[in-house]
Amino acid sequence: MPSAGSNVALISSAPDDEVSLVEILDHVLNSGVVIRGSLIISLAGVDLIYLGMDVILTSVETAMSHIGVAAPRNE
């Protein structure tokens, strides 16, 4: 029978440390309503539907590199 311990880590949604930051980025970039189609406009000749997705991918990579965590990769 394994012994019991208090190994519950409570992480605030305030960006106080790097662990919180990872959680925040995960939520801001991966949770919420996703708008598709014509509601997203084009500006300066650039299709924002494509640009928006590209920015999301870039920001995850960039954020991960800022905090020294390797971005997850699908293999």
Residues of this chain that interact with another protein (CB under 8 A) are 2-15, 20-21, 23-25, 27-35, 39-41, 43-44, 46, 48, 51-52, 55-56, 58-59, 62-63, 66-67
Query: Which two tokens mark 37?
Result: 């189609």
Using CA atoms, how far apart are residues 66 and 60, in angstroms rounded to an integer?
10
Report, in Å, the least distance between residue 71 CB and another protein.
Answer: 13
Distance, CA of 24 to CA of 18 (rounded, Å): 10
| Closest to 40 in 3D by CA, of 29, 54, 50 | 50
Q: How far is the CB of 27 from another protein (least distance, A)?
A: 6
Instruction: Tell me the closest approach of the beta carbon of residue 66 to another protein, in angstroms.
Output: 5
Can you tell me the distance from the alpha carbon of 1 to that of 17, in angstroms, rounded to the nearest whole number? 35
